[in-house]
Structures are given as C-alpha cells and as structure tokens.
Structure 1
C-alpha cells in the first residue's frame, strides 16, 4: 500500500496527543517552564527524525557498501550549519534560563576511541543508532524495542566499569573554540567538512551512474503529514531544534545518558546500590539519580521524541510495521543494543551527543568519535551479513 492511500491511525494519534498534553501540563505545573520547553523541542525532534528518516546507520551503510551518499551528505551539511550557529551561542547567556550555554566537550581518550569504534560496529548490527533506536522503537518497531532495552543495560554496565576506562590515557577535553578562537575554529571545521563532502560526492558520482547532487533537496514527494520529508529539511530542522535545546537546557541535545539513568533507577528499585559506583557519584549523574526522572532534561527530551515519533507514525499510517524477528535478528538486536549502550558510555555519547553536538560545540572528541565510529561501521556492515542474510 502506498503512502498516499494509508489512513491516519486515529487511535494511536489520540494516545500520542493525550500523552503530550498530560506531560506538558505536568511539566508546566509541577516541574518548570524550562522542562516544558525541552519536552516540546523533543516533540519536534521526534517528528523530524521520523518523517525525514534521519538516522546515521543506514546512511553510513549505504555509502560503505554502495557509495550512495545522499544521507551522509545531508549529515555533513547538518554538521556545517550547526558549527556556524553554535559558535554564536556557546559561552553566552541563555534566553530561557539564567545561565551560560555550554558545549558538549568531552575528553579525547582511549575510552573514546574504543567506545566509538564499538558503537559504530554495534549500530550496524542493530540497524539503528542512538536517535534511530529511540524514534523507530517509538513508532512500533519491535526489533528496535528489543535493541532499546539492551541499550539501557549496556549503558548501565558501562557506568559500572567507569573507573577502569577513566584510568586509561586521556588528553582531557579539547575545545577548538578555546584553542583557536571561535572564528578560526569555525573556519577549520568547515574546511574539513567541505573536503569530506567533496570526497563523498566524488565517490558517489564515480560509482553510481544515476547520481544526482540535488537528491537531498528533492521535494517532489514531500507530504507534511505522511512523509517522506527531504533530507535537507530534516538536516535543517535537527540543527534548529538542537540550537533551541542549547537555549532551553543550557547544553546541546543528547540521548544516551538517559538510557543509563533509566536502567540505574530500575535496578536501584530492586536493591542494587548503584549510588556507590563512582560514575553515579559524579556531580551531574548523582543529582539525576537522586531526583525524579522528570527533572532530567535528557529524559524529558527523550519523552518528547517518543511522543513526537509516535504521532508522526500515526499520521503517516505506519505505526507498528510488522517485521519478522527470527533468532539471528533477535541476537543482533541484543548484541547491537548492548554494545551501543556500552560504547556510548565509554565515548561520552552517541551519534547525537558525541558526534552532532560535539562537533557543533567545537569539541575535538566529536571528530575522534566520527572517525572511529565510521571505521567500526565499516567492519560492522560485514558482521551484519551474518545476521541478516
């Protein structure tokens, strides 16, 4: 059945709208306006991710295996736009709350190299990255729901092993903005992104006779409610909402910290003393563990993504796409989810928190993450054939 003839799933849409209204009321009356804004930004992210199918995993795999570069070129464009816009806001006062906006700067370390490589490999097994897992699971994909559960478990185990990975060699956080100044760091990163874009573009053009540079700008089949949205629109909207997240939360968009927190809350309920682990004694994690989940901005934005993707899939008539989950795919979902979670914890984020928000913030660790996650994906696409053949 084509997208044009699919009917809106009014039942699922009703649940999504009702949940959105209830949580919005709860945040407005019981938490803070700031958390309400973060939640609504998450809604926008969920809708954008779903309708533009903006995941890193498939785009990287298409380029690695077939040199089809449309998704990867859209990601490069997204990073370039984010680098420019973030440079105006990092270190300045937020319009929404009383404080300065900080970038996603993390250490350049052995743990980042190992963790990002692990994440890149695992996301090819699972068939989704951090953001991809969340929005596809939210739209009814059973395999990705399994992946999400084991993503949480892997994240929690990563926090348990935090001391070991922290003890390995590290250069500490390196901010290109601090090292070279905002203007020079922007020019440097845009130069690298331009070279990457050119290499990707030429590789696709050489390999594929049907290559069209304008494919990421294709609005010919654009449907606001049913999709698909062109990749360029998805890229621009994700940058827009990430800038808003910077304003509302005080830091850029992230996803995976919440997965570890959710798992920690669950096992703590059953008597596991996670608060004694060194990771959960750090300032930010300890505060998040002590407080309600609804006080954690990453959890709040993830809830928004869940309901945004749920509503978008209902509008498109695509909620709960039945798919065969055989034994091999089930194992791939478990392994992919677990090692994505573990790798994200080691590398201080995923494709969103480390790569997207890291590079946008001028963090060198974002570039290291990009390199080793892509190398991991190159190996991961080979392992993937064992499970999906």
Structure 2
C-alpha cells in the first residue's frame, strides 16, 4: 500500500504542472493587482476536499482529528513561509513540480527546503521547534468550538466559493484557440491549457483519495510535503528505511509526475538562473523549511488540508501565509516597479 503514495504523487505532480497551479502566484496576485482568480481556485481545492473527507469520515473510512493550536509558532512560521515562497519562486509543491520541469533554481530551493525542515524537525533546532509547538491554547477545530456539525461549515464554504467562481467564469473573455496538433485524450491532457478551476477540482479529488490510501499504509493523514521532505533527508543521512513511508513516496511521485507532464507536453527545459535568483532561491528554500516546521505545515498540509478540516491551525496559517507573501511582494516586487506602473496598481483599500 505504501506504493500508492507514488501514484498519488505522480497524479498530483502531473496535474499541477499541466494546470500551472502555483500557490505562490495565487497569493501574490492578490497583492499585485487584486486578482483573486487563482486564490479562488485554491479555495475550490479546499471546498472539494472538505466535502470528500467529511463524507469519508462519516462513513468510517478515515478518522479526522485536529491537533491543538500553537498560536505563536503557527503565526510566526506561517508568516516566514509566506515571505519565503516569494524568494524561492514557489511554495513546497510548486518547487517540486518546477524542479520536475527543469528549473534549476527550484532544485536548489528544494534541497535547502528539505534540509532546513529536517534540521528543524530532527536536527540541531528540533528542541526549539518542539518547544514552540508545545505552547498551545487548547483550540482544535472551528466546528468543535461552535458545537455544530462540520457540515454547516462545509455548506457555507461551498456556497461562498461557488459564488466567487461563478463571478470569475462570467467575466472571462472567450479566447481563440490554435488548431490542435494532437487529438482525443492526448490533446486534453498534454496540449490544451488546463483551466484553473478544472485543475483545482482535479487536485481536490486527488487530495480526497490521498486520505484513505495514506491511512491504509499506516499514515492517517492526507497530503503533506514538509515532513515527507524532512524524512527524505533524514533517510539519506541515517539510512533508516522506516522513514520511507507513504509521504516520502508522495513527494518523489510529484517530481516524477511533473517530469512526465513537462516532457510529454514539450515544456521540459533546463533553465539556469542568474546569481541573484540563485541566492534568493537558496534563501527562500531555507526559510520555507524553517517556517513550515514552526507552523506545523506548508501551503499543502496547513493551508489546503487542515483548512478542509476547519482546524484553527489551517486557517490561521492560511491567513498569515498570505500576509507574509504580501510583505515579500512589497519588498521585492512592488518597490522596484517604475513609479508610473506603481501608481497604476489598484490600492489594497479598494479591494
């Protein structure tokens, strides 16, 4: 059953690469031009997954549970992570799938992300991480605090996201498409651009499937990137095969799936960044591992999976990751725009 992690990771890497599903871009677009199309796609993933996992929980297939909230560690870690993904040029999964399509800067970001996460979880900073994560306030999930069925929150989320998606779809222009070079399934999978919302639904379904398959393999959790990445490094250092679990095969599968998608669609190309981009990738990757370890997860484990369970940690992380991305966007992007271009950017007050 552990090998199913490789299959799920392959499907996730394929879908993210073909759909150009970049969480960093989704968060960054909100600050640069008040564009909420991609963050709406991200919310679709959460909503689809939420429906599926609560149904599986009700059927007894999986058992959902949320850990107690460590507010300071979550806030600080999430903000650092959000800031770091702008430097790295991608979040955890974005770094994985871009590595698979040949972006060498992402290779370095990925190596330093996994290494710093391992240091924070198992190495010299493990005690610091444990101490920070131990400062909890007893809050677990929103529906438990309210004393209501989680299905009320699921319904509210689905309705809100559905409304936002419908507004975006109604405003989309009709674009002319080039004559297809492939036919049938090959055209749909490898040539035709994937719509952001269709990609989100696919990823949401993959996230649902991950739960029972991971649970059956002895890992009662859904998609996750940070701990599996840290475990990969720990295995390479110690040789402890017990560290190679479903999650490790999941992240390896993302690389494989993204490579297959990029190669088959003609988008694979080795790209060497300049020195400044390389330094930023390494710095961003390192800070990503630090932030994700403190926050208890990355944009997948926290902002996508824990939010679907309506855990406080998930939604608090989500918010502070967006804020961290906004801070980095202002420091590294908006401040360096020409004055005329900067003045034409809609103010956040009007959002």
Q: TM-score range by the shorter chain?
A: 0.7 to 0.9
Shift of residue 225 of structure 1?
1.2
Answer yes or no: is 1:225 the counterpart of 2:225. no
Residue 253 (structure 2) aligns with: 304
1:320 to 260, 269, 285: 269
Residue 346 (structure 1) aligns with: 294
2:49 to 57, 69, 82: 82
Structure 2 residues without counterparts, runs of 5 or longer: 179-186, 216-220, 338-351
State the secondary structure of the residue aligned to 2:70. strand
Residue 161 (structure 1) aligns with: 125
Could you say what the CA RMSD is over the residues aligned between the two structures, in angstroms?
A: 3.0
2:2 to 30, 35, 39: 35
Residue 184 (structure 2) aligns with: none
Residue 185 (structure 1) aligns with: 150
Do the aligned partners of residues 255 and 165 (structure 1) sit closer, same or farther apart at CA in structure 2, a change above 3 Å counting?
A: closer
Shift of residue 387 of structure 1?
11
**CA offset digits 1:126-148 (Å, max 9, x no partner):** 11001101111112110100100
* Distance in 2 between residues matched to 1:107 and 1:216, nearest whole Å: 43
Shift of residue 233 of structure 1?
1.4
* Distance in 1 between residues matched to 2:196 and 2:100, nearest whole Å: 21
* Distance in 2 between residues matched to 1:108 and 1:382, nearest whole Å: 28
* Distance in 1 between residues matched to 2:106 and 2:44, nearest whole Å: 27
Do the aligned partners of residues 58 and 217 (structure 1) sit closer, same or farther apart at CA in structure 2, a change above 3 Å counting?
A: farther
* Distance in 2 between residues matched to 1:243 and 1:321, nearest whole Å: 33
Answer yes or no: is 1:124 the counterpart of 2:86. yes
Mapping for residues 115-154 of structure 1, pairs under 5 Å: 115-154=77-116
Shift of residue 309 of structure 1?
0.7
1:57/1:128 contact within 8 Å kept: yes
2:236 to 234, 245, 266: 266
State the secondary structure of the residue aligned to 2:252. helix
**CA offset digits 1:189-236 (Å, max 9, x no partner):** 6546766887x889xx9xxxxx76454998968742134211111111
Do the aligned partners of residues 143 and 103 (structure 1) sit closer, same or farther apart at CA in structure 2, a change above 3 Å counting?
A: farther
Residue 321 (structure 2) aligns with: 373
Do the aligned partners of residues 386 and 321 (structure 1) sit closer, same or farther apart at CA in structure 2, a change above 3 Å counting?
A: farther
Do the aligned partners of residues 89 and 212 (structure 1) sit closer, same or farther apart at CA in structure 2, a change above 3 Å counting?
A: closer
Do the aligned partners of residues 104 and 246 (structure 1) sit closer, same or farther apart at CA in structure 2, a change above 3 Å counting?
A: farther
Do the aligned partners of residues 187 and 63 (structure 1) sit closer, same or farther apart at CA in structure 2, a change above 3 Å counting?
A: same
2:87/2:280 contact within 8 Å kept: yes
2:285 to 329, 337, 342: 337
Shift of residue 302 of structure 1?
1.2
2:229/2:251 contact within 8 Å kept: no
Shift of residue 336 of structure 1?
0.5
What TM-score does the superposition give when structure 2 sets the normalisation length? 0.81
1:328/1:387 contact within 8 Å kept: no
1:106/1:348 contact within 8 Å kept: no
Shift of residue 109 of structure 1?
2.4
Residue 291 (structure 1) aligns with: 241
1:57/1:127 contact within 8 Å kept: yes
Residue 239 (structure 1) aligns with: 204
Residue 111 (structure 1) aligns with: 73
What TM-score does the superposition give when structure 1 sets the normalisation length? 0.74
Residue 175 (structure 1) aligns with: 141
Do the aligned partners of residues 218 and 242 (structure 1) sit closer, same or farther apart at CA in structure 2, a change above 3 Å counting?
A: farther
- Paired residues in the alignment total 320
Structure 1 residues without counterparts, runs of 5 or longer: 1-33, 95-99, 206-210, 270-289
Moved more, 65-74 or 127-136: 65-74
1:52/1:231 contact within 8 Å kept: yes
* Distance in 2 between residues matched to 1:217 and 1:53, nearest whole Å: 20
2:13 to 26, 42, 46: 46
Do the aligned partners of residues 214 and 49 (structure 1) sit closer, same or farther apart at CA in structure 2, a change above 3 Å counting?
A: farther
1:108/1:364 contact within 8 Å kept: no
**CA offset digits 1:307-328 (Å, max 9, x no partner):** 11111001111112425x2221
1:73/1:197 contact within 8 Å kept: no
